[in-house]
Amino acid sequence: MPDSTWVLYWPVLLVGAYLLGSIPFAQVIARVRGVDLRYVGSGNVGAGNLSRTVGWQWGLAAGVCDGLKGLFPVMLALDMGFGRGSAGLVGLMAVIGHNWSIFMRGRSGRGLATAAGLLFALDPVLLVWTTGWSVAGWRIGGGFGGFFGWGLLPIVSASMGRPATESFLLLALSAVLVLRRMQGNPDSEPGFRPAMRRAVFDTDQGGEDFPRTADDLLTP
């Protein structure tokens, strides 16, 4: 892409990616099925909560759509001739849109499926690392596995000799995912210690019979 058009098209891609990421596919499907995800299950507007409350088939469909929200903007930016760092930032805007959707008046999903779509378009080899921790999460806890899988991703990228721009982009991606976990749901317990517990374990403290879970590793 000629340098003279870079200033024009890149901001448009950033805004477009955010708006695309903001589309809450899980909530749209849930409302069609007569459910509002904000008031059932974990309260998270994501494919994981949709799977548990409406059905795994619907959750899978929402997860695929959420993944495409991260995949498509990055591939488009790369096809237009943007570098990996610039294209990755476009995908990051889709993740931010998913996590803090303008259509949901703020917080929505956790962004993992959208982040996986970004990673698939940008550097699919690194998905081996995150997928491995997804599998490990079934034994050690999904939230804990997700914290290590995505939190250490920038270090893994740098150790594999990836360009510095890509590693810094993945550092920003990890920060966005962890910050959303720390934020929790609207009724999450406030304070630093509860926020750190959510960051590491993706879990809210709840009652003995019905503990609140912010969401597990596989919840987008």
pLDDT at 87: 93
Between CA 76 and CA 40 the distance in angstroms is: 36
The lowest-confidence range among 48-52, 132-136, 159-163 is 132-136
Average pLDDT for residues 56-82, to the nearest whole number?
Answer: 94
pLDDT at 217: 35
pLDDT at 100: 93
Res 214 pLDDT > 70: no
pLDDT at 93: 97
pLDDT at 140: 57
Q: What is the mean pLDDT of the chain?
A: 82
pLDDT at 73: 96
Q: Sign of the CA dihedral 203, 204, 207, 211? A: negative
Nearest CA among 177, 200, 181, 49 for reference residue 119? 177
Which tens digit of pLDDT belongs to each residue from 62-74? 999 999 999 999 9
pLDDT at 155: 93
Locate the domains of the chain by residue range: 3-201
Phi, psi angles (nearest 5°) of residue 101: -75, 130
pLDDT at 78: 93
pLDDT tier, 154 (very low <50, low <70, confident <90, very high otherwise): very high
pTM of the model: 0.85
Concatenating the DSSP letter of every residue in 26-43 gives HHHHHHHTT--GGGSTT-
Paired tokens of 164: 């510095």
